[in-house]
Amino acid sequence: MISDKKSYVIDRVLHWSCSLLILFMLLVMGSQIHNTDYRIKGAIEHKQDAIEVHFIMGALVLLLIFSRIVWSKFFLAESRKTTFNSLMHKNIVNLVHFSMYLVLFSLMVSGFLMVTNYEHPLSILNIISFSLGETRLFIFNQANQIHLYLESAIYFLIALHFTGALYSRR
């Protein structure tokens, strides 16, 4: 059996690994396309590289989220789980966490819709290929708009989560 301290350390590693990947994707990936001179490789290959890295990081975030949910549910010691000050506190924490998970999963779905309806064929690590056949630019554009809206929503939820964590530790 794993000790309470080790189970908590693993929980924190999963939390902060996921958090750092999300922040990296939000703060660095969006500018990667714009800050690198696309003329070096060509516009299409340059976009392909940026999308490939973004896709891989998104898959890692998904893996870390599921790992953290399973770990917290089945392996995290009860003494290390969050204690709530009131029913309202519990409901607010649950609402913020649920909203964060919902937005993150929705970002992944909208990203997947964009990748599968992109105007150029895409390959992820030369293993998985997307947009090889007929694509629908309308779906790509709608998914892109939703993706950008969800990006704004996750910024808000991260700020709310961070503020709540600071407040609860006051």
How many residues in total does the chain contain? Answer: 170
> pTM for this structure?
0.86
Domain shared by 73 and 122, yes or no: no
pLDDT of residue 137 exceeding 80: yes
The pLDDT-based confidence of 33 (bands split at 50, 70, 90) is low
Please, which residues bridge with residue 54 across strands? Answer: none
Give, rounded to a whole angstrom, the gap between the first and last alpha carbons of the chain.
Answer: 33
Percent of the chain, pLDDT > 90? 53
147 Cβ contact partners less than 8 Å away, ≥ 6 residues apart: 107, 110, 111, 114
Is it the case that residue 98 has pLDDT exceeding 80? yes
Could you list the residue range(s) of the whole structural domain that residue 60 is in?
1-78
Number of folded domains that form the chain: 2
Q: Are residues 65 and 146 in the same domain?
A: no
Do 54 and 87 belong together in one domain? no
Hey, what are 152's tokens?
């704004």
In this structure, are residues 100 and 154 in contact, taking their beta carbons and an 8 Å threshold? yes
Dihedral (Cα; 164, 165, 169, 170), 10-degree rounding: -40
pLDDT reported for residue 30: 64
Mark whether 113 and 162 lie in a shared domain.
yes
Both 137 and 162 in a single domain?
Answer: yes
Shared domain check, 56 and 126 = no
Residues 88 and 69 occupy one common structural domain: no
Average pLDDT, the chain: 88
Q: Retrieve residue 138's tokens.
A: 């309308």
Provide the pLDDT for residue 37.
Answer: 64
